[in-house]
Structure 1
Amino acid sequence: MENEQNQDLKGCIARLRAILPYLSTAERRVAEYIMENSNDIIQLPITELAERAGVAEATIFRLCKRLGYRGYQALKIALVADLVTPIKSIHEDVENGDDMLTIASKVFDSTIQSFRDTMRLLDRDSLEKAAEAIANARRVEFYGAAGSGAVAMDCYHKFSRTGISCIALTDSHLQIMSASLLTDRDVAVGISHTGSSKDIVESLRIAKEAGATIICITSFMKSPITKVADICLFTTARETRFRSEALASRLVALAILDSLLVGVSLRRQEQALESIEKTRKAIALKRY
């Protein structure tokens, strides 16, 4: 997605955050200046931005290309779209005097903005390919660790109810063992906020060597997990003092996977509805 070189790509600020850890020192200075002074950038010629950020104009062009834009003007056009509805200080951190309702309001607002930012990053073709791959798979395996492991388990719970043959694995040894037994009829989904979890990336690499289609869900466009994936879906979130961006990105990842669940179910509607009805009846036995 980041290589489309399309000036209409949305979510300029979200894209900057997603690639920030992988930029050179000079590129990072430009990116941070743009994020901190986004309202001013619209009026700045490239020469002045270069002077303010203390870099060469070529550095700004390289950054634009990394983001998927044809040039500086295309970046500014995308930035305007980000600023059409100014974001108030909804990402402000909690303060000592905040009551619980105020805290809840700030947390909810921040989470809602994470969903909006991620929607700007989502790529139609990638979503279609991911849904198609899962719908046609013989078997689907979800890999995650720590917080992402909880997301993987949630996927197993939801997708299995629709009749999809799937499993969630959070143990690194079980992941890599199972990955080695996959085939070209299977799909492996790796979930990692940073995209740098060595165990997840290695398991996906083994699954890819076995012929499986690889889907990744991550917040960082240039992270190691994107190098082994066939299909990349990106999340984005912002960090506050008591709530890391990983916590919010977990909720966004769940929303993406819920979207895939609905898309996959529509593609195999008869089987999905039949399976859901069977599992619903079975679960009813567990209730008083």
Structure 2
Amino acid sequence: MNAAKSKLRDSEKKIIEFIERNREETIHLSITEVAERSETSESSVVRLCKRLGYKGFQDLKIHLAREVIAPEKQIHEVIEKGDDVVMIKKKVFQSNIQALYDTIEVCSDDEIRKAVDAIANARLIEFYGTGGSGTVALDAQHKLLKLGIKSFAYIDSVLQAMSASVLTNQDVAIGISHTGSNKDVLAAMKLAKEAGATLICITSSSKSPITKISDIVLQTASKETLFRTDAISSRIAQLTIIDILVAAVANQQYEWCYSNLQKTRRSTIDKKL
């Protein structure tokens, strides 16, 4: 940042000086808060991010977060031929940890709030996913059902399409796709949209086909390593988003969800040894 100062406007210099004094705090601030604290404007913050080569303010915060992590904790995540089990363990752990740190920054608080409200007020929630994202969809269904919230997860493309086509404007369809371009999930989401349902997507690609048709976008971040075709760190981030939604919905409807949780727990008590 210091190298770029001489070519910047006064307002942009003020922003850089604020960030340099408050690097760790900036990671947790919104663009509005940074503008207010540096006595500039949101447009100046956006312009500065572009001048520095970042896609936007969230991208800048991700890079700041990586710098703030102590160097001794930064392990290059690429698994290389010859790595022993201990090194692989460290790299996979660090990759997943970094995915969660990055997801905190790229996932909008406003979008999370909208998603929670939509789920809490829905007649029915459906989840669509395939492969690794399919396991996330099943996990989401399980967690919401425990709270008494009607939800279904479909990992078969035919069932996804059939069920999505008969949704209503009282329902919510949630598509889970790491790339945001899974053909089957996208097809189901389009049918759900035609049926009038509210669309929520969980994806790491902010400019993918699924984000273009969704009403609410919950973005994740991930660090992929060699031999990880199932996008493990992406799945960790997706599962965490689901946990946030479930916890927030339960908190919003605390008494009702708590009562249902006791009922569903009692219903399965004889299934345990």
- What is the total number of aligned residue pairs between the two structures? 228
What's the secondary structure of 1:194's corresponding residue? Answer: coil
Paired with 1:286 and 1:139, the residues of 2 have a C-alpha distance of: 27
One-letter amino acid matched to 1:163 = G
Is the Cα–Cα contact under 8 Å of residues 112 and 218 in structure 2 kept in the other structure?
yes
Is 1:71 the counterpart of 2:60 in the alignment? no
Is the Cα–Cα contact under 8 Å of residues 91 and 238 in structure 1 kept in the other structure?
no
**Identity value in percent:** 44
| 1:281, distance to aligned residue in structure 2 (A) | 1.2
What's the secondary structure of 1:188's corresponding residue? Answer: strand
Matches within 5 A, 1:186-201: 186-201=171-186
| 1:122, distance to aligned residue in structure 2 (A) | 1.4
Is 1:210 the counterpart of 2:170 in the alignment? no
CA displacement 1:213-234 (0-9 Å, x = unmatched): 0000001010000011000001
CA displacement 1:99-153 (0-9 Å, x = unmatched): 3233212211111011001101011110000001001100000000111111101
Is the Cα–Cα contact under 8 Å of residues 137 and 185 in structure 1 kept in the other structure?
yes
Paired with 1:100 and 1:131, the residues of 2 have a C-alpha distance of: 40
| 1:97, distance to aligned residue in structure 2 (A) | 4.6
What's the secondary structure of 2:187's corresponding residue? Answer: helix
Paired with 1:278 and 1:285, the residues of 2 have a C-alpha distance of: 13
What's the secondary structure of 2:202's corresponding residue? Answer: strand
| Partner of residue 157 from structure 1, selected from 142, 162, 170 | 142
Paired with 2:193 and 2:92, the residues of 1 have a C-alpha distance of: 38
| 1:87, distance to aligned residue in structure 2 (A) | 6.3
What's the secondary structure of 1:238's corresponding residue? Answer: coil
| 1:42, distance to aligned residue in structure 2 (A) | 5.5
Is the Cα–Cα contact under 8 Å of residues 91 and 240 in structure 1 kept in the other structure?
no
What's the secondary structure of 2:125's corresponding residue? Answer: strand
Match of 1:11 in 2: none
TM-score by length of 1: 0.73
Match of 2:13 in 1: none
Is 1:274 the counterpart of 2:259 in the alignment? yes
RMSD: 2.4
Q: Which runs of no fewer than 5 residues in structure 1 stay unpaired? A: 1-40, 48-67
TM-score by length of 2: 0.77
| Partner of residue 124 from structure 1, selected from 97, 101, 109 | 109
CA 1:226–1:96: 2 relative to 1, 3 Å: closer
Moved over 6 A (4+): none
CA 1:46–1:142: 2 relative to 1, 3 Å: farther
Matches within 5 A, 1:24-103: 43-44=3-4, 70-73=46-49, 76=52, 78=60, 81-82=64-65, 84-85=67-68, 88=71, 89-103=74-88
